Amino acid sequence: MRRSHRVAQVSKPGELEIVERETPSPGAGEVLIAIEACGICGADAGDIDRADPKMRPARVPGHEVVGRIAALGSGTPSIWKVGQRVGIGRLGGHCNECVQCRRGEFQLCLNQPFVGSTCDGGYAEMMIARATGLVSIPDELKSEEAAPLLCAGIATFNALKKCGAEAGDTVVVLGIGGLGHLALQYARRMGFRVVAVGRGSDIADDALSLGAHVYIDSKKEDPAARLQSLGGAQAIIATIGDVQAVAAVIGSLSPQGRLVLLGAGKDPLPVSAGHVVVGERSILGSITGTPFENEKTLDFSVLAGVRPRIEVMPFEKAGEAVARMRSGQANFRMVLTMKEGSHAHQ
C-alpha cells in the first residue's frame, strides 16, 4: 500500500489545493477506501465556502464516493472484504447507539458524520469511512455512474417513494438539474404521469427525453394554473431551494397531495394554512437515506436503466470541475475520476 496519497483540500474558504498526505490506517469499525470516482454535488460548494480556515489538516470535500476497500479496521463486519467495490454518500455511518438508531431510523442518527463537511470526503485518492455507512456497488454500474446515485440518486428515489402517489398519478418534478434529471427518470419508471417544471425553453427537450410527459416553462406561463388545467398534482418533488418557486406551484396540489422538499433553503416557505388544512395536504422534508436504501436505489437503477448524465474530469482538475458545477453549465453532474488517462467530458 502507498504510504502517501493526494487530496484536494480547502486551502482557504472557496479554494481547493492538491497536497500530499500520509495514508492513514483505519480504526475500529472503519475501512480505508482507494477511491475511483467522486461526484460533485451542489452541497459541496457550501462545504468549500464555509470550511474553517483554522482547521488542520484542512477539510477534504466530496460525498459521492466510489472505490475499493484497501484495508479493514478491527471489528469490521465480515460482509466487507479487501478489494470489494463500495461507496459512501453524504451520511457517513450511523452510531448504533443513539435513540434514532435504536428505533432503526439510521438516516436520522444523532452522531453521524456528514461526509465532506464534518469529516474528510472523496476529493482524494484515499479516505477513511465508517463501515456502517458503506454501500455495495453493483457490477453493472461503472464507478463514475454510481457516484452521483449515492446522493442525488437516493435523494430523489426516496422522495418519490415517500410522496404518496400511485402509478398513473400526476407527479411534478420542480427543478431540472442535478437532482431533477434523476427524479424524472425514476418517476417515469415508477409509472407516474410526470410533469417537469423548469425555467426556460432550453431545458425542454432534455426534460422530455429524460422521462417527462409534459414540460412547463415557468418563465412563459403560470405553472400552478397549467397544472390545475391538467387536473392537479398528487405530489410535487421540489429539488430546488428557491422558496418563491416552490410557493408558486403549491396551489396545484390535489386534496391529500404531498409536497416533498429536497432543496434545503434557509428562507421560510410561504404557505397558506387554509390550503393545507382544507385539502388535507401535507409538506414533508426528505433526507438521502440509509446504506440499505442506497443499495435499493442502485439496484433499481440497474433494473430500470436509470443513469446520471455526467461530465468526467480528472482529480487533478477538481477546482475546475467545481467551478463548472457552480456555473450551472454542467451536463447535469460533474464527476472526478482518479483513474489514469481520464477524459474531460463524457
Query: Domain map of the chain by residue range?
Result: 4-137+309-337, 153-285
DSSP character for 138? P
DSSP β-ladder status, 193-198 and 15-22: unpaired
Please name which of 294, 326, 331, 324 lies closest in space to residue 147, comparing C-alpha atoms. 294
Distance CA 164, CA 260 (A): 10
CB 26 within 8 A of CB 73: yes
CB 39 within 8 A of CB 150: yes
- Whether residue 341 is predicted with pLDDT greater than 80 in this model: the reply is no
CB 35 within 8 A of CB 81: no
Please name which of 322, 316, 341, 288 lies closest in space to residue 87, comparing C-alpha atoms. 288
Residues 6 or more apart in contact with residue 269 via CB below 8 angstroms: 243, 246, 247, 261, 283
Topology of domain 153-285 in CATH is Rossmann fold (3.40.50)
Angle between helices 42-50 and 318-327 (to 10 degrees): 120
* C-alpha Rg value of the chain to the nearest Å: 20
Amino acid making up residue 142:
K
pTM: 0.94
CB 80 within 8 A of CB 72: yes
CB 286 within 8 A of CB 127: no
- Whether residue 119 is predicted with pLDDT greater than 60 in this model: the reply is yes
50-68 pLDDT per residue, tens: 998 889 899 999 999 999 9
Q: How far is CA 263 from CA 19, 166, 285, in A?
A: 33, 23, 9
Query: How does residue 329 score in pLDDT terms, banded at 50, 70 and 90?
Result: confident
Give residue 340's pLDDT: 52
Query: How does residue 339 score in pLDDT terms, banded at 50, 70 and 90?
Result: confident
Distance CA 273, CA 261 (A): 17
Q: What cell was used for 213?
A: 410527459
| Average per-residue pLDDT for the chain | 94
Q: What cell was used for 206?
A: 432534455
Check the CA dihedral 138-285-324-54 and report its sign: negative
20-53 pLDDT per residue, tens: 999 999 999 999 999 999 999 999 999 999 998 8
Decide which of 132 and 55 is more confident. Answer: 132
Share of residues in the chain with pLDDT > 90 (%): 90
Q: Which top CATH class is 4-137+309-337?
A: alpha beta
Please name which of 39, 121, 31 lies closest in space to residue 85, comparing C-alpha atoms. 31
